[in-house]
């Protein structure tokens, strides 16, 4: 192995790794599957080395490319360098000082292989939104966006939406641009040229080279096998094979290394291409020893202290974040007018159909049963139809995780803005549905009762969307999410009191009755209807001289009272409010950003590989990124 690293410039951050190793343990068990949780594995196998004794140095104003075949450990090494994964052994250094993951993530940016962006926004709008949050004290946002578009050579596409009209290379440059708005000192990219044609790949590399030199930034990227043109933009190479370093240095030093070991590079190949062809022979040349790290630059810039990092975690106030997010949500909603119209017509048609089915129901025994059935079906329709937004929320999750983990905004700001922007829309839907069904059925003839009915429908719709948002964060994919929604809604409906009363439930199932979302909305609608008929006789004895059942009796049998009218609304609001979900957002933020225990060490690796993990009241799925073309418009509430 040869190490002839480039000469470092005098400014910026030098990122180094010393003797990095990463292993993946594997265990086998002779126990059968049903007993797997009762017994520990009986046998163990030696850990598998993904990386073994890797050392490197990356300098400011230069691009270091981690090169190697598939399975060489490039992505794993990049995850370790980005402080996303903790190594089994070894040390990471920043300007010759031990790297603190929480501080490093605030001065670096990581660009994943796949691009996750909101497809209904234009490039300029995407950059402007990020700039408003990340550079809040600058009034001239347009100048910042214009400068960034020029640097990325995207000016002619600034008004093009991300959903269409962009090539793979242009989308990749948009992702790079979003990272640049954080003004990172170290930029790490996972295979930025993957899936691109040669021209687009070269344009991306030219952009990265310009960023490294003009901004004095340290750029580290992984790449499978760069072409000769791409090699012209790269300053240093780290050649990996089976997790070990074959060469760390420049392209000329690689050529010298090959010649000194008796390998003549064919004229039709460059040194790296030839080295890739004979990797197995290079590894066998001599034992791999880590290179000695070059001396650090004279001017040590140091790392931000934990206190400073904690204070500067967010660059905008919470109010500013909510306003910016509200503006983004509103633009997306306005551009999904077809979906809005569909939801409006759905509410109108279903309301009219139900109204004509239950038209002018009386107040006899059948009327009582029909009202109960009408209210139960209304709630089933409202809650079950919200599953339409499940794939939308699931696809949007990678964007939310990327933006919150980079410190662009607080999770609570996102949830509050999301709720605020949908409040008027859901109110309009609630009014349309209520008008179409309320008067046809002949419910309580009181404007106060009608207003309360609209309120219950409105809050129930909000609660349904909060429920879907919760499930989307819990489910790893759409199929699992749909199954989970179906099971939970079925359970909530079963224990709502419609099929079996709380008094008839076994004691060990009583808790489900009070957890049911249906219960509180159904109780609210029943109280609203029969509070108008507390003293009105609904069922008479056969001689019509004595009343058998009044509206008050119906409520009493259900265990309800008029004074509970607002209690149920408060509970529904609590279930629908974003604060119910965002209560743990500060804990989530601390773990995502690495403040406090959690993100350092192997815990982060375990969380990332798990199906889900719980953080202070929030369930968050693994940050699996999706391509822009796979994204759908931002989640809209449906009825």
Q: 488-503, pLDDT tens digit by residue?
A: 888 888 888 888 888 8
**What pLDDT sits at residue 26?**
55
Beta bridge pairs of residue 45 = 26
- Distance between CA atoms of residues 457 and 363, nearest Å: 23
Q: How confident is the model at residue 608 (pLDDT cuts 50, 70, 90)?
A: very low
**Residue 280, pLDDT above cutoff 70:** yes
Instruction: Please name the residues in contact with 274: beta carbons below 8 A apart, sequence gap of 6 or more.
Output: 258, 263, 265, 266
- Output the average pLDDT for the chain: 77
Lowest mean pLDDT among 248-257, 260-269, 610-619: 610-619
Tokens 């939406």 belong to residue = 161
**What pLDDT sits at residue 138?**
65
Beta bridge pairs of residue 2 = 247
**What pLDDT sits at residue 437?**
94
**Residue 240, pLDDT above cutoff 50:** yes
Residues 262-285 have a mean pLDDT of: 82
The percentage of the chain sitting over the pLDDT mark of 90, rounded to a whole number, equals 18
Q: 427-466, pLDDT tens digit by residue?
A: 999 999 999 999 999 898 899 999 999 999 999 988 888 8
Q: How confident is the model at residue 194 (pLDDT cuts 50, 70, 90)?
A: confident
Beta bridge pairs of residue 239 = 67, 247
Q: What's the CATH number of domain 2-117+183-311, 3.40.50.20, 3.40.50.300, 1.20.1250.20, 3.20.20.140?
A: 3.40.50.300
**What pLDDT sits at residue 618?**
28
**What pLDDT sits at residue 57?**
93
- Who wins on pLDDT, 116 or 528? 528
**Residue 599, pLDDT above cutoff 50:** no
Residues 40-47 have a mean pLDDT of: 60
- Distance between CA atoms of residues 155 and 19, nearest Å: 44
**What pLDDT sits at residue 64?**
94
Residues 412-425 have a mean pLDDT of: 85
Q: How confident is the model at residue 45 (pLDDT cuts 50, 70, 90)?
A: low
- Who wins on pLDDT, 388 or 239? 239
DSSP one-letter string for 215-256: TT-EEEEEESS--HHHHTT-SEEEEEETTEEEEEE-HHHHHH
- Distance between CA atoms of residues 629 and 195, nearest Å: 14
Measure the CA dihedral 394/398/403/409, to 10°: 20
Token representation of residue 134: 């990340």
- Who wins on pLDDT, 599 or 537? 537
- Distance between CA atoms of residues 445 and 373, nearest Å: 19
Q: 389-398, pLDDT tens digit by residue?
A: 677 777 777 7
- Distance between CA atoms of residues 187 and 179, nearest Å: 8
The percentage of the chain sitting over the pLDDT mark of 70, rounded to a whole number, equals 79
Residue ranges per domain, the chain? 2-117+183-311, 337-630
Q: How confident is the model at residue 307 (pLDDT cuts 50, 70, 90)?
A: very low
């Amino acid at each position: 192995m040869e190490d002839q690293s480039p000469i470092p410039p005098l400014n910026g951050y030098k990122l180094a790794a010393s003797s990095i190793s990463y292993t993946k343990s594997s265990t086998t068990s002779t126990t059968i599957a049903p007993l797997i949780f009762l017994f520990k594995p009986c046998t163990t196998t030696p850990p598998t080395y993904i990386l073994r004794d890797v050392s490197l140095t990356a300098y400011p104003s230069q691009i270091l490319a981690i090169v190697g075949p598939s399975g060489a450990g490039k992505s794993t090494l990049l995850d370790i360098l980005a402080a996303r994964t903790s190594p089994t052994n070894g040390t990471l250094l920043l300007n010759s000082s031990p790297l603190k993951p929480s501080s490093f993530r605030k001065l670096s940016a990581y660009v994943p292989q796949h691009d996750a962006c909101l497809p209904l926004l234009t490039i300029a709008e995407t950059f402007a939104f990020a700039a408003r949050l990340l550079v809040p004290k600058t009034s001239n946002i347009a100048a910042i966006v214009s400068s960034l578009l020029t640097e990325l050579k995207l000016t002619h596409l600034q008004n093009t939406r991300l959903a269409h009209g962009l090539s793979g290379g242009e989308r990749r440059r948009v992702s790079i641009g979003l990272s640049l708005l954080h003004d990172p000192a170290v930029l790490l990219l996972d295979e930025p040229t993957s899936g691109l044609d040669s021209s687009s790949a070269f344009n991306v590399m030219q952009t990265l080279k310009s960023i490294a030199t003009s901004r004095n930034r340290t750029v580290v990227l992984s790449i499978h096998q760069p072409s000769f043109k791409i090699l012209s933009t790269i300053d240093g190479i780290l050649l990996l094979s089976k997790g070990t370093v074959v060469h760390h240095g420049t392209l000329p030093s690689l050529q010298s290394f090959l010649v000194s070991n008796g390998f003549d590079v064919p004229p039709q190949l460059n040194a790296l291409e030839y080295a890739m062809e004979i990797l197995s022979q290079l590894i066998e040349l001599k034992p791999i020893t880590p290179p000695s790290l070059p001396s650090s630059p004279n001017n040590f810039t140091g790392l931000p202290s934990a206190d400073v990092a904690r204070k500067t975690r967010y660059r905008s106030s919470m109010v500013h974040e909510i306003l910016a997010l509200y503006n983004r949500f509103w633009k997306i909603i306005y551009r999904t007018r077809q979906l809005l119209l569909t939801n409006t017509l759905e509410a109108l048609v279903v309301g009219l159909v139900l109204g004509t089915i239950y038209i002018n129901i009386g107040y006899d025994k059948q009327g009582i049963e029909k009202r109960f059935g009408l209210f139960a079906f209304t709630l089933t329709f409202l809650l079950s139809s919200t599953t339409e937004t499940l794939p939308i929320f699931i696809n949007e999750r990678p964007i939310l995780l990327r933006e919150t983990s980079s410190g662009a905004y607080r999770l609570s700001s996102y949830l509050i803005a999301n709720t605020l922007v949908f409040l008027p829309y859901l109110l309009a839907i609630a009014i349309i549905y209520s008008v179409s069904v309320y008067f046809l059925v002949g419910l309580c003839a009181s404007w106060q009762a009608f207003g309360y009915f609209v309120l219950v429908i409105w809050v129930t719709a909000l609660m349904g969307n909060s429920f879907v948002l919760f499930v989307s964060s819990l489910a790893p994919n759409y199929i699992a999410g749909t199954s989970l929604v179906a099971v939970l809604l079925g359970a909530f409906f079963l224990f709502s009191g419609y099929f079996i009363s709380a008094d008839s439930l076994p004691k060990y199932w009583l808790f489900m009755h009070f957890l049911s979302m249906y219960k509180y909305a159904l109780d609210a609608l029943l109280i609203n209807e029969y509070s108008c008929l507390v003293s009105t006789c609904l069922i008479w004895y056969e001689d019509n001289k004595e009343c058998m059942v009044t509206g008050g009796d119906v409520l009493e049998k259900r265990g309800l009272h008029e004074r509970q009218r607002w209690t149920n609304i408060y509970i529904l609001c609590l279930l629908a409010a974003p604060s119910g979900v965002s209560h743990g957002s500060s804990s989530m933020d601390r773990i995502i950003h690495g403040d406090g225990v959690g993100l350092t060490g192997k815990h982060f690796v375990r969380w990332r590989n798990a199906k889900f993990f719980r953080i202070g009241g929030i369930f968050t799925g693994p940050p699996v990124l999706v391509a822009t073309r796979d994204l759908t418009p931002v989640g809209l509430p449906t009825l």
